[in-house]
Structure 1
């Protein structure tokens, strides 16, 4: 049974709507009522809040956010929007949000429309097998397409989606777009697909659509690597392990991203038993002349060997970095030195050039 929370995305109705508004304290009452009077708005005062009928468009939210309440208050002023004339039901409570959330939603309709319309362009960056110099696989990287056709900065896209409480929806759309794009290109190598574990509640439910998409396009489980991004921000490793177990039990491989960007407990990471450990580019940059980072890398390689994981170094930009990584025993490499992300697949062998 589909999860409404996973599948539903807010839809803005700029027609006439009714608003129910609650204030954080009684101290806000006088100023709020004056602000409504200044706009010529009639209201009904209730025991816990205010009811205002027949408001149109985005202007009222903007007025409250920029003129009436400050940045701290906006977090605690809460608003429920209901289409005018519609009877209130429990399902409407999903639209009971803070003023700050409404402001972000209405200010970032571009992000919302990218998710709703699934305007995602998938780029592929090659991953090289060090021993053979051949392409081992590709990491799928998602880019949101704006209405004007330009690509939105991925950092902005994901940070705004998180602030709008739409991170799961975006993450899901990107995963499925990556899978379909790879199938369309008849990818036969490994496919590394990013996912954000903090956006997933229950893997057996929240990841159903991803598994369904993989089955529809005919990608083999042993071809797919699910890569945890922002691993360093994970606080609940038990929850992460449940997600990884979900994938492993279905024949997929798993990878941890950004290894080396500030973990205090390598044993915790090793207990997750990933198939791949991706070393952060901050460790790799100029590693051929950085003794400290060479020691860090050596430790990670040694620990990876204990659990049979492959080491993937990312962010390689020059031959000197590659040559050192090759001599250090790194299994896989990725970076601009081998190829920038692009929509097609870079089908060539690097052995003759490296």
Structure 2
């Protein structure tokens, strides 16, 4: 049984459908009816809303948001597209959204297209074994590709997907694109793959397609490290622990990313029993001259080593930062000093 929630994008295109509009308060009725009449829309009053016949939904949403309702009202006006000439079916209710949600969906059509067409480019950044001075593995980083071939800002891509409630789909296609790209590049070292905990409901279902792709390209479980994105923002540790337990039961390793970027309790984080703890660049930047950051790092190392974690310092950009970290109990390092994310992963490094 597959997880339909993260495999099929919600419907956005409704050419010439009937539309039911729910109006929030009675004082909006005259405004709405006058606007509809002035623009030659046919409508019928039903209960506390209106049925409008044969409209192109995107244009209708644009009309309502630009000419009828303000940004506050749009949160309470609700829109339900219906098949033309057909009555209401329970299956249609999944498309019952506020006007503001429809506006976000249409503004983010390019993001939806990137997901549905899997226009994802994967870049690989090397992770270095400090003691051996060689490449230990790679972190796979996903970038959305716009129709003109340029790269969409990754923060904008994920923020827009979140606003559209499409993180489920984006997270899945990025994971799977990373796996296929790693196989194509012949990567045999550790592969760190990001995932967003809130994009996974039931691990045994939501992660089936990921496991299938790994099997198809013959990447073994012990090569893969699934990395929790935005660790410091996790609120439901019980749910995250279920996900990590599932990964461990299948033979994968796990990592906590961005540790130190917020104020999460280190004890709570370590109860998740990851294999790796990645220290955020906000702690690493100027670590060699910042006593407070040095104390923070020492606490992470001490607590992590107590349960046998490998400590990875990320975001290293200067020789001075690297030289300081080498004197500490750091296992792995990552950052522009050693190599930027590249579509074709570097295979050799020359340490400073």
Scaled to the shorter chain, the TM-score interval is over 0.9
Q: Separation in 1 of the partners of 2:306 and 2:182?
A: 32
Q: Is the 8 A contact 2:232 2:264 kept in 1?
A: no
Alpha-carbon distance, 1:57 to partner: 5.0
Aligned pairs for 1:1-354 (under 5 A) are 1-13=1-13, 15-56=15-56, 58-350=58-350, 353-354=351-352
Q: Separation in 2 of the partners of 1:269 and 1:312?
A: 15
Residue aligned with 2:102, SS: helix
Q: Separation in 2 of the partners of 1:2 and 1:92?
A: 21
Q: Separation in 1 of the partners of 2:99 and 2:347?
A: 50
In structure 1, the gaps of 5 or more residues are none
State the superposition RMSD in angstroms: 1.2
Q: Separation in 2 of the partners of 1:313 and 1:103?
A: 41
Residue aligned with 1:54, SS: strand
Alpha-carbon distance, 1:12 to partner: 3.5
Q: Select between 235-244 and 18-27 the one with higher mean Cα deviation.
A: 18-27
Q: Separation in 1 of the partners of 2:212 and 2:148?
A: 32
Alpha-carbon distance, 1:75 to partner: 1.4
Residue aligned with 1:289, SS: coil
Q: Separation in 1 of the partners of 2:28 and 2:200?
A: 37
Q: Separation in 1 of the partners of 2:36 and 2:72?
A: 20
Residues 250-298 of structure 1: CA deviation (Å, up to 9, x unaligned) = 1000001110112241110010011111101010001111111011000
Residue aligned with 2:210, SS: helix
Q: Separation in 1 of the partners of 2:200 and 2:72?
A: 28
Residue aligned with 1:341, SS: coil
In structure 2, the gaps of 5 or more residues are none
Alpha-carbon distance, 1:87 to partner: 4.8
Number of residue equivalences:
352
Residue aligned with 1:344, SS: coil
- TM-score after normalising by structure 1: 0.97
